[in-house]
Amino acid sequence: MKVLVVEDDQYHARYLLDVLADALPEVSEIVHAADGAAGEAEAEAMCATAVVMDLQMEKRNGIEAARAIWARRPATRILFWSNYSDEAYLRGISRIVPEDSAYGYVLKTASRERLKLALRAVLVEGQIMVDREIHRLQRRTASPRHALDDSEYAVLVDLALGLQDKQIAIRQSLSLRTVQNRLLSLYEKLGVEADPDDPADVTTPRNKRVWALSRAFVTGTLNVATVQSAERDYQRRGRTRR
């Protein structure tokens, strides 16, 4: 069994290689790639079927690299590990994982034993495993009443790209009225509303588009990596979806 490790931090890479050797004695070879772009190339060269992927990396983040790897080999088992439990990362993963593929998401703060368990569960046994600490952190910051659905989230990402309502409508194949309704809904869910106890808020309303983006970043609904990835995708595909 061969395992590809994609991690740009040398300290974390050394730690992970050590844990892998301890947790999975059946591994015959471990290949280390220092960023997402190199990870894609190594995955293709070694026909990787088991990958441990950092999420936040220079040049190409883990979600983009995983999407490219899965596009070629949907059966590849990928364990994501990260310092972050942002909703944006979980959404990004859920949108690219192929049907019936094994994947996992574990925080770098997890214990060595927890990491070993995740490595074996995902890479060897083909299970889906998301660190319970991620679920706990999400429950503290979100509730179903405030959770954006996929359509609202897509509009929010386009908002972060600086697109106007008409451009968003074309890209998302929605009517202009539907886009405006989605905006109203996500404003409500993100808590973008005037404070009646603050006279300045009432007499001089804030720009709701900017305020919504600020709230999205503060709550982890969006993060820089997600917006950077969306911007690159926007540039590749052109200004609108055909």
pLDDT tens-place string over residues 56-70: 887 788 988 999 999
Residue of 204 and 226 predicted with greater confidence: 226
Confidence tier at 242 by pLDDT (50, 70, 90):
very low
CA 182 to chain centre: 22
Helix, strand, coil percentages for the chain (3-state, nearest 5): 55, 10, 35
- State the burial class of residue 207 (Cβ atoms within 10 Å of its Cβ: 0-12, 13-18, 19+): exposed
Reported CATH class of domain 2-141: alpha beta
Please state, for a pLDDT cut of 70, what percent of the chain lies above it. 87
| Banded model confidence at residue 76, pLDDT cuts 50, 70, 90 | very high
Average pLDDT of the chain is 85
Residue 193 banded pLDDT, cuts 50, 70, 90: confident
Q: Does 226 have pLDDT greater than 50?
A: yes
| pLDDT at residue 165 in the model | 94
Note the pLDDT of residue 221.
Answer: 84
Parallel, antiparallel, or unpaired: how do β-strands 103-107 and 129-130 relate? parallel
Rounded CA-CA distance 97/63 in Å is 10
Please check the confidence at residue 198 and state whether its pLDDT lies above 60. Answer: no
Q: What is the pLDDT of residues 9-57, one digit of tens each?
A: 999 999 999 999 999 999 999 999 999 999 999 999 999 899 999 998 8
pLDDT at 148: 82
Model confidence pLDDT, tens digit, residues 146-173: 678 888 889 999 999 999 999 999 999 9
CA 151/CA 143 separation, integer angstroms: 18
Domain with CATH 1.10.10 in the chain: 144-237
Say whether pLDDT at 85 is over 90: no
- pLDDT (average), residues 72-81: 94
Quote the pLDDT of residue 240. 46
Task: Please give the pLDDT value at position 200.
Answer: 55
Domain with CATH 3.40.50.2300 in the chain: 2-141
Token duo for residue 156:
């929010």
pLDDT for residue 214 is more than 80: yes
What per-residue confidence (pLDDT) applies to 232? 83
**Phi, psi at 191, each rounded to 5°:** 75, 30
**C-alpha span between 134 and 95 (Å, rounded):** 18
Residues contacting 54, CB < 8 A, separation 6+: 6, 7, 8, 9, 12, 62, 80, 81, 82
CA–CA gap between residue 234 and residue 189 (Å, rounded): 26
CATH architecture of the domain with residue range 144-237: Orthogonal Bundle (1.10)
- Determine the pLDDT at residue 139: 54
The token duo for 162 is 């600086």
Find the mean pLDDT for residues 216-237. Answer: 84
Confidence at residue 234, expressed as pLDDT on a 0 to 100 scale: 87
Closest to 36 in 3D by CA, of 63, 17, 13? 63
